[in-house]
Structure 1
Amino acid sequence: MAYARAAARPLPHRRAQSRRSAAVIPSAIFRLADMVTPTPGGASVKHARYNLGIPCGTRVSSSVSRYDTSCEIHPPGTVLVAMYGGFQKIGRTGVLQRNAATNRAVSAILADRQRVNPAFLNYCLVRSQPAWKKIAASSRKDPNITKQDILEFQIPLPPLSEQRRIAEILSSVDEAVASTQAVIEQTRTVQQSVLKRLLSKGIGHSRFKQTEFGAIPEPWKVVPLRTVAHIQTGVAKGKKDIHDPVELPYLRVANVQDGHIDLIELKTITVSASQVERYSLRPGDVLMTEGGDFDKLGRGDGWKG
């Protein structure tokens, strides 16, 4: 991660909103294997078989999928779990709202509805996503979770009526979060539009000139960033034999989002005491990611301190 320090007013700072689940005090703890109904194939949790010859997204009838291909159709209420496909995707879950097939990276769980509510089960799995990642990363060449991992997973089991109520409350929270997120996205769209106009048209200008960035007001200049700011990369991880070590919190790519700094989960790193001043952030510093997955490159925001 890189950051630029310039003599400029700090950008507005927005902390990411955290999504919290209600705590559940269970009357008992059960393995997931005890909470599902066996399917005709004899497996309660099954890998969806590969769909040969049918492009992804094509709608097919259940008779065609069952006899002419190897698709397995899962009914509404089936809980899906991502088993692999990238470390950040492992353990993602959802509940089917319609008949659907999945690929081999997803396992389908048919809950015994006399004992467990599918929506409640899904929230239990959502809450445990960090545990899935820990399992996936343990002594395996390619991070993944297996059918057996899912079968051995334990969940709290309140009475069915309480499960439904808990699921309803959490669903209401999800809807509120979705509504808020929609407003945030709309605000961001407006912000980007205003930003684009101000940074290309300025305020009150009538004469423009062409540059590599397009037309800009005639009095404006285009200069290299290095001429107006000090550019510095962050501290490197994994160093050994650090002299006079000091452990400090640090920002990762996951903390620097698109337009805000997420401080909900901060990790620490060990650096030499003599390097603390060099790597310390100050109000007004502008952070920008330069590593991570392709969709994470170039994210940034200002540090308020």
Structure 2
Amino acid sequence: MSREVPSGWRRVDLGDVAKESRSRNADFRIAEDRLVGVFKDQGLVPMRERVRGASVERCKLVRPGDFAYNPMRINIGSIARSTADANLIVSPDYVVFSPDINQIDGIFLDYLRKSDAWAAFVGNAGDGGVRIRIYFEHLARFRFNLPPLHEQHRISEILASVDETIAASGAVIEQTRKVKQGVLEGLLTKGIGHTRFKQTEIGEIPEGGRLLS
């Protein structure tokens, strides 16, 4: 990310605009069916019953808008922002942090963590040997250019619009693929302009056609 800061923007560390949350489910307010894991490209996903622990008492609380991540897998993208309208819980081993909404928009931060600068930072941060662990004390040092809130909101809106366009294009591509497959199957089995067909072990084929062994 460029060192030059646009007018009205400021250089900050993540720790300046977000704080780690260590709240736990000590009084069992959150039921075990609200236990989620974080998976790359899937976000916060309900945990299967067979991988749940015996108790959710020590699980960490994830409030709406909070971020949660696996400290051993954040370098491959296992981090997500909660868009749920109620509290969730995650493994005690996870890290949870809350953005300061008076300084940074959560959606803007969610896009920021998909940037090349973020990927480069988490690729070099953390403690450990073979399996690097990146706790919030490390992540808090991520330094970036922060726009004013109104500009953050506008940037998020633009990027959301791009995402919608990509999703719509993907749907069109998939539908086109299905149409192509249907045309391909039709041409390969019924040819062009044939009106009379005969039944074979692989289905109908034009009369005059033959099967090749």
Q: Could you say which TM-score interval applies, normalised by the shorter chain?
A: 0.5 to 0.7
Indicate the SS of the match to 1:141.
Answer: coil
Structure 1 residues 220 and 175, CA gap change in structure 2 (3 angstroms): same
CA gap 1:72/1:186 in 2 versus in 1, 3 angstroms:
farther
What amino acid does structure 2 have at the position aligned with 1:75? R
TM-score normalised by the chain length of structure 1 = 0.45
Structure 1 unaligned segments of length 5 or more: list them. 1-23, 43-50, 59-66, 223-305
1:192 maps to a residue whose letter is Q
Aligned pairs for 1:15-164 (under 5 A) are: 25=6, 27-39=9-21, 41=23, 57=46, 69-81=57-69, 83-84=71-72, 90-98=76-84, 99=86, 100-103=88-91, 107-128=95-116, 130-131=119-120, 134-135=123-124, 140-142=129-131, 145-164=134-153
Aligned residue type for 1:126: K
CA RMSD of aligned residues (A): 4.1
2:198 to 174, 193, 207: 207
Task: Tell me the residue number matched to 2:161.
Answer: 172
What is the total number of aligned residue pairs between the two structures? Answer: 177
Residue 92 of structure 1 deviates from its aligned partner by: 5.0
Q: Structure 1 CA distance, aligned partners of 2:98 and 2:151? A: 20
The aligned residue for residue 50 of structure 2 is none
Runs of at least 5 residues in structure 2 that lack an aligned partner in the other structure: 25-31, 37-44, 48-54
CA distance in 2, matches of 1:220, 1:133: 58
CA distance in 2, matches of 1:164, 1:117: 7
Higher helix share: 2
Distance in 2, Cα, partners of 1:166 & 1:72: 31
Contact 1:124 1:155 in 2 (8 A): no
Determine the C-alpha separation between the residues in 2 that align with 1:27 and 1:68: 42
Aligned counterpart, 1:267: none
| Contact 1:120–1:167 (CA under 8 A) maintained in structure 2 | yes
Q: Does 1:221 align with 2:174?
A: no
CA distance in 2, matches of 1:70, 1:139: 24
User: 1:85 touches 1:105 (CA, 8 Å); kept in 2?
Assistant: no
Identity %: 26
